[in-house]
Amino acid sequence: MLDGENKLIRDAIRGESSAFGLLYGHYQPQIYRFIFLKVGRREEAEDVTHQVFLSAWTNVASYKDRGHPFSSWLYQIARNKVIDFYRTQKADLPLESAEEVFISSAESHLEDFETKATIEEVQQAILKLKPEYQEVIILRFVEDLSLKEAALALGKSEGAVKLLQHRAVKNLKQHLT
């Protein structure tokens, strides 16, 4: 959670674009990753991420803090936008080449290459999973969300997330080996 997040949200609700800009800067990378791992292509991930934050900004007044973190609200919007994306886009688009993926700065070119190869391997394995397995893997093991946070983002109980997680990991291992 971002420092002073509640105040930033209140300011954003009042229409202060600078406050929303800070929230965007903090949450946009993780929302982008979530979408990228689910759609598999950089351009599409950028379009969908843009739609998510556009929707969040125009509807920020409807966000109500009822113990749900702001990130959960953003993940819920992202999940809906990905569903819309698959509903409207042509199926079987080829996967993005790993070369096209932007990664945070690496120590060396060799490390950069290895990282991209690993990313491609895991990304392809994740894309073979059911959507709900993908989501639980990304939120719990990529973004390190707690069980409670993941449950809020997915709109499920903690028990249901635990069960999903167990099945998702089992499935992922089969695709990775």
Partner 1 sequence: MSYSVLEKLKELKRIVPNPDYSRQSLISILRHAPQKSLGIFETLLFRISLVVTVFAVILFGAIRSEAPLKLAGLDPQGLKAEAEELDLQLRLTEISLNQDLDGSAITALKEAAQNGPGHLNTSIIKNETPKLDATEYSNPGVDEALKALSE
Binding residues for partner 1, per CB under 8 A? 12-13, 15, 17, 20-21, 24-25, 28-29, 32-33, 36-37, 42, 45-46, 49-50, 53-54, 57-62, 101-104, 106, 115, 118-119, 121-123, 137-138, 141-143, 169, 172-173, 176
Q: How far is the CB of 137 from partner 1 (least distance, A)?
A: 7
The dihedral built from the CA positions of residue 162, 164, 170 and 174, taken in this order, carries a sign that is negative
Cα–Cα distance, 176 to 157 (Å, whole number): 28
Cβ closest to partner 1, residue 118 vs residue 157: 118
Cβ closest to partner 1, residue 138 vs residue 151: 138
Helix runs in 14-69, H state only:
17-39, 42-58
Backbone angle region of 84, left / alpha / beta, with phi > 0 → left and psi within -120 to 50 → alpha:
alpha
Q: How far is the CB of 92 from partner 1 (least distance, A)?
A: 23
CA R_g for the chain = 17
Cβ closest to partner 1, residue 125 vs residue 160: 125
